[in-house]
Amino acid sequence: MSHTLGITFSESATGSIGELTDKISVVMGEDGRMNQLTRKANTLMRGGLKRLAESEAWEKLSEGDAVIFELPERMQASALQVIKCPVSPSVELARKIGAKIASFANGEKISVLLAAQSRAAEMVYGLVLRDYAFDRHKSKPKSRAEAAMVMVNQPADIEARFAPMAAVAQGVHFTRDLVNEPANVLTTTEFANRLEALEKLGVEVEVLEEAELEKLGMGSLLCVGFGSESPSKVVVMQWQGGGDEAPFALVGKGVVFDTGGISLKPAAGMEDMTMDMGGAGVVSGVMQALALRKAKANVVGVVGLVENMPDGKATRPGDVVTSMKGDTIEVINTDAEGRLVLADVLWYTQERFSPTGMINLATLTGAVMVALGHENAGVFSNDDALCDAFLRAAKAEGEGAWRLPLAKAYDKLIDTRMADMKNTGGRMAGSITAAQFLQRFVKDDTPWIHLDIAGVASPGPTPLSPKGATGWGVRALDRLIRDKFEA
């Protein structure tokens, strides 16, 4: 798995700055205000930073932008980055400044001199989130620094504040690793194996194989994988960090590759369908983060792992299948497979765990990208309180999310004479009819959110992630659980 950058916090020490051989990053106010570490660097450079602060170039910089000095005078550092930063930056700006530091470091060793900066922990969080590279399949991957050194005035306090952020960053990186993996590596079996490894962190993991899924009556999920050599699976992850209360549930679509099945997708861009397990990837990352930070909550994560391939045994358009709930579904389009997976996993999760609430995530529809682009996930919910709490968490974490409607008027688009429902309502309101389909498998007394993350799972780069998988949702869901469900 990808390595998450380690952080060494140390006491501010001006006497050592000239001897640091790493790259160095410092912050300076728009008016030239310097902390004691930046002042020392300025002294070593014979007033070079003061002259910068008085220059027109510095005045034109936006907050969070930087100037780089190569081989700074009277210092051993290879380069010095000076970032324009207010005394009390917002959380969003602090994280973006951390990401700017990561881009400057570019995998090399770096010392970050923050002294008494009020958002030091958030800056380091941004640094760790952005310091990510998925290059394990290159013959000569670039070597990367194992850790960064951060000088602050109260290192023990900052380290304590950063510790839960570090756990979440590891969860984000775990999600990115899963979503970035090619499908010949991340098969359903390999995915399940990686989740079983979470047992080392205290997560209880159970893998349900095809024979058990058949006994449970999961005809909707199983029909998606009929054309694949990879066995369909459901993985149940339980984190018991709370009391005796029922758990909160996270449910994820895990289609490790989606050809569209018999309703075959066009060849152009099909390679991107390695990310169609993004919902299951986010659920997995959240479960790892909760375990690493020892969250005081009971949470269950359930993911359906399948592969959608064309084959002589594959499900055909026009076939009718029976879900675990007992409802029958006419499969109009085998490329609308994610909802077939989620239907059974949602019902199973409610039947087994009676959760206090439930959120499912899926790279479900292209329609949500037409509506919201890559800036926001589509949010659908039957419960205003839970939805509002999630939207607050997403906003606080800077993860775009926008609520879209559910209404009975859309149900007629998925009615069919052949069965209780069909699996697609056509082009009109495509993301909404998919959500209406899923809602039929949610009990009336279960607070529920459906997150369509097709546009946000893998657009990269973003301010906090490089090109490829973003890990969107891990931070927002962790915050929701922390704010709403932890004792």
Residues tagged active-site: 265, 339
Tokens (6 digits) for 72: 């700074």
Q: Is 450 helix (H, G, I), strand (E, B) or coil?
A: strand
The span from the CA of 355 to the CA of 179, in Å, is 27
Tell me the one-letter amino acid at 8: T
What is the chain's Cα-based Rg? 24
168 vs 188: CA distance, rounded Å: 25
Phi-psi region for residue 456, left (φ > 0), alpha (ψ -120 to 50) or beta?
A: alpha
The residues that bridge with 329 in the sheet, in sequence order, are: 321, 421
Q: Give the span between the Cα atoms of 430 and 126, in whole angstroms.
A: 35
**Number of other residues whose CB lies within 10 A of the CB of residue 90:** 13
Cis bond before residue 155 (omega within 30° of 0): no
Tokens of 239: 């984190």
CA distance 135 to 141: 6
Rounded to whole angstroms, how far apart are CA atoms 85 and 81?
12
Separation of alpha carbons 165 and 7, rounded Å: 12
**CA distance from start to end of the chain:** 32
| 437 neighbors 332 (Cβ within 8 angstroms) | no
